[in-house]
Chain A
Amino acid sequence: MKKHRYIPMTQQNERDMLAAVGAESIEDLFVDIPKNVRYEGTLPMSSALDEAGLLRHMTRLAGKNADSDRYASFLGAGLYDHQVPVVINHVISRSEFYTAYTPYQPEVSQGELQAIFEFQSYICELTGMEVANASMYDGATAMAEAASLASAATRRKKIVIASTVHPETREVVRTYAYGLGIEVIEVGFDNGVTDLGKLESLIDGDTAAVLVQSPNFFGAVENVRAISDLVHAQKGLLVVGANPLSLGLLEAPGKLGADITVGDAQPLGISGSFGGPTCGYFAVSKALMRKIPGRIVGQTTDKNGKRGFVLTLQAREQHIRRDKATSNICSNQALLALSASVYLSIMGRQGLIDVCDLNLKKAHYAAKQLSGIQGVELAFSSPFFNEFALKLPEGTDINVLSEKLLEEGFIGGYNLSREYPELGSVMLIAVTEKRSKEDIDRFAEILEGSL
């Protein structure tokens, strides 16, 4: 391998540069690596392909996957099949954005810095919180960081998390909590929402925070205000995980008493990509501003008084504080945060209301049609947004059903019995604005015929 399209080094360059260095060969540059740890031979890795061959190979791999362009999806469970406005791909394909690093040099990074500032503004506006950061890895790690922040801010070592929070989020929270020495207690549910009586009995003076998700993993809307009262009575903090798209319809967590609001911005114009990369968001009350993890952009002025933007409040961060930092996070999901910002710019004030209205109506139509099937009913009667739990006849094998639906061109719902075996055969169904009445009716027909 002497020539490659990404490597401009010619043989003449190599000779000239080695001469400038005073080396005879490239091997001379590696004399500092002890012989006994040198790798001899060719690594047993995948071989090189030319461009056409590589495109064929990748097309073949991609072709083995059932994508949501070819299949109508009723699958959500934390990752949703919304319409992604075509404009977004054009914006994030601007290589000035995607080939840049974290904006360390603000004079040549005003575009990214302003984009992040606008993202922070969007998140504050949606959540009703006062401060948002530049983004986190995903919604699950954002909630884990929220638990960490709450524990540090209250100097308490116990958190209570609702079992209606996404199961994978709860797992991630537990992993982080173990590292930080935080005790995690789960509170159960009643009719698909957090059991407030049980919750009250679990909160005490050692409780750093209560962590809930609304709409929760079952799609049901939690009574956030009531939960807020319970945790604040013990001077703990309230952490709310919220689907940001749903906030076009549902009350902003900041108005319901949330101290920290987190979530995943995936529904805002980010494609599924098998679960990542998505974009966690993280927003707090002003009191917690200097304890927030991750990057934050602030507005300032330059020497001529002109408006500009910089990374700020960096005294919290790992590159300054090292082991005393509020978090070890270094990167963020800037390009996906940009996707979310472009989505909200496209939707605007009315578009976000309208898309929520469509999700609400189509999901409720689907719930009505599906629960009308003999032996099928809604698992819960709590209010929901665009996702609901559907109880199928006892003994229905949801995995077999999902394969049957695939054959008919549908990606079925999530098998809730995987994580909640006590519920029996229950499928979690998500219905976005992309599903037509025809999709829903046909889905109901196939489901009925498959039971």
Chain B
Amino acid sequence: MNTSLDLTAPTLVDAKEDCALIFELSQPGRVAYSLPECDVPTTEDEVSSWLPDEFKRSDAAALPEVSEVDVIRHYTGLSRRNFGVDNGFYPLGSCTMKYNPKINEDVARYAGFAKIHPYQPVSSVQGALELMHTLQTDLAALTGMDAVTLQPAAGAHGEWAGLMMIRSYHEARGEKRTKVIVPDSSHGTNPASATVAGFETVTIPSNAKGMVDLDLLRAAVGSDTAALMLTNPSTLGLFEEQIVEIAEIVHEAGGLLYYDGANSNAIMGITRPGDMGFDVVHLNLHKTMSTPHGGGGPGAGPVGVKSILIPYLPAPIIEKLENGSYDFAAASPHSIGRVKAFYGNFGILVRAYTYIRTYGPDGLRRVSECAVLNANYMMARLKDYYEVPFAGPCKHEFVMSGSGLKKYGVRTLDVAKRLLDFGYHPPTIYFPLNVEECIMIEPTETESKETLDGFIDTMIRIAKEAEEDPELLLNAPYTTPVTRLDETNAARKPVLNCACS
């Protein structure tokens, strides 16, 4: 049993108490702020002349009145009711919950990175531009692409930006291509991004091996195909062995290939999307490059493209001038435009660059090797207890099915909830959609064999519990600050804020 986060330990008992909303702590007259005295001369007449009364706020915002200690205790209390990678194993498939190195956090807080403004003269931000330029070059090398934009704020944002470039490319050639093909194992963001870019989505089922069905692909492509979006290795953790043929089929039909880089942690230095035939790729720096997920964000989703798409890149790109200094390149007249304010999530780029420099290219290759070995080891040890629909070798993640437990009245959800009692964050569940009662496990390279063994033993124990005492699973978890929550009522009668005033 993993004891790294034993929620029953007496020190954490208070985490089980209801935690008041910050608004409920308010006491009139209490303050937590420190502001300077006003040191500029003003008269009351002057002040009242500056803004017409109808522009002024009629009722003060009902913000809480608390002390600094209240604030710290409140948020510390909340943090103790939350589980992160630093608390324990977090094998959430397709999310790459690897360790978030502390040096990344330290350097991103340097004033020279954290306290600079995007509109300062370029002469005063040469270090920032140098970092971005180097990162562009490094990511292009890693993915086998010709150019990289650091603008997109997240993976889905990168997908949409990439698809917009594909759209502009086809339009510039006078072609009207309206369809984007995705396999049924794709991330939900793929079809959603296609819609926002003005495309229709065509979903093709995977074959029995979990791979793209080439016959179905051939039947699906045509003169209206704008692109195929593919995650490789797929969300099933499988490498598309026929990727070269897939690329040929799509390219012959005049379409382009989009690489969803969510699963890049499997292939660094081993194979590159550019060499497989992809034309566009996004990377999730918050997955592959160890930047923290932040409880939902911020992330960063840089996009790499082959030379045919360079004219369509969103502005701006950083360039190195002949004199060795750095500047923003003028936008191409064919650019899709701007996708985000300023220059992307720079603070995340600093962390990703720092991470790359702790490893170098040989180290990144070792990252992928270990991530893949860890996943294969877990799959090998668990395959006798849970159904593994696709034989290995897997890449950085694999899927199992909890359908074998249904005969005991137990579902994958119950296994996940029971895992919480042992101090583990559960794997991704019910995704991908083409595997029944799916359990998707991604250990990452930063977990030790002992951690993996502890988790595996727990999964085996839970499978036995399902057989012997299914009620135990159905009512889990027992050790968390709250038990299972009423999600139906939450959606039916939404309470979405505290309606303070």
Contact = CB atoms under 8 A, between A and B. Distances in A.
Which of A14, A93, A141, A350: most chain B Cβ within 10 A?
A: A350
A299 interface: yes
A402 B117 CA distance: 13
Interface in A38-89: 38-39, 42-49, 51, 54-55, 57-70, 73, 75, 77-79, 81, 83, 85, 87, 89
A63 B344 CA distance: 21
A436 B39 contact: yes
B201 to A, nearest CB: 4
B309 to A, nearest CB: 15
Interface in A173-193: 174-176, 178-181
B495 interface: yes
Which of A36, A139, A274, A328: most chain B Cβ within 10 A?
A: A274
Interface in A108-142: 108-112, 114-118, 120-122, 124-126, 131-132, 134-135, 137-141
Given A94-B76, A315-B491, A272 B115 contact: yes
A274 B125 contact: yes
Nearest to B114: A271
A331 B420 CA distance: 23
Interface string B390-424: 00110000000000000000000000110010000
A238 interface: no
A212 to B, nearest CB: 14
B357 A46 contact: yes
Interface in B25-67: 26, 30-36, 38-42, 46-47, 50-52, 54-58, 60-66
A181 B157 CA distance: 18
Interface in B243-280: 243-244, 267, 269-272, 275-276
Nearest to A68: B115
A319 interface: yes
Contacts of A317: 188
B107 A175 contact: no
Contact of B31 (A31, A166, A278, A351): A351
B220 interface: no
A331 B393 contact: no
Nearest to A99: B84
A287 interface: no
Given A121-B500, A221-B55, A45 B193 contact: no
Nearest to A59: B110
Given A43-B365, A44-B141, 11 more contacts: A13-B448, A17-B374, A58-B110, A107-B420, A111-B81, A141-B153, A248-B57, A273-B113, A276-B153, A276-B347, A328-B192
Nearest to A94: B79
Contacts of A13: 448-449
Nearest to B495: A299
Nearest to B450: A8
B127 A60 contact: yes
A442 interface: no
Which of B116, B376, B482: most chain A Cβ within 10 A?
A: B482
Contacts, number: 711
17 contacts: A54-B354, A63-B127, A101-B295, A104-B92, A105-B426, A115-B295, A139-B341, A172-B338, A251-B54, A271-B114, A298-B494, A312-B491, A330-B187, A331-B297, A333-B298, A341-B22, A349-B62
Interface string B119-155: 1110111111011001001100110100000000111
A347 interface: yes
Contact of A175 (B47, B275, B339, B489): B339
Contact of B192 (A118, A295, A325): A325
A62 B358 contact: no
A328 B195 contact: yes
A322 interface: yes
A131 B381 CA distance: 47
A221 B337 CA distance: 28
Contacts of A324: 195
B13 to A, nearest CB: 15
Contact of B244 (A36, A148, A176, A365): A36
B89 interface: no
B51 A67 contact: no
Contacts of B197: 179
Contacts of A285: none
Nearest to A70: B111
B323 interface: no
Contacts of B123: 403, 406
B38 A357 contact: yes
Interface residues of A, number: 209
A233 interface: no
Contacts of A397: none
Interface in A189-225: 221, 225
B482 A2 contact: no
Contacts of B243: 34, 37
A37 B275 contact: yes
Given A91-B72, A274-B125, A360-B47, A107 B496 contact: no
A322 to B, nearest CB: 4
Given A251-B54, A346-B32, A108 B445 contact: no
A376 interface: no
Which of B19, B50, B92, B164: most chain A Cβ within 10 A?
A: B50
Contacts of A26: 369, 372-373
A96 B61 contact: no
Nearest to B284: A331
A101 B63 contact: no
A17 B377 contact: yes
A260 interface: no
A370 interface: no
Given A37-B271, A43-B142, A327-B192, A49 B358 contact: yes
Nearest to A428: B119
A232 to B, nearest CB: 18
Contacts of B445: 6-7, 9
Contacts of A411: 117, 120, 124
Contacts of A60: 127
B314 interface: yes
Which of A37, A172, A272, A436: most chain B Cβ within 10 A?
A: A37
B188 A319 contact: yes
A338 interface: yes
Which of B85, B116, B188, B348: most chain A Cβ within 10 A?
A: B116
A248 B194 CA distance: 40
B71 interface: yes
Which of B18, B39, B157: most chain A Cβ within 10 A?
A: B39
A228 to B, nearest CB: 13
A354 B35 contact: yes
A276 B298 contact: yes
Given A271-B114, A322-B188, A348-B66, A6 B446 contact: yes
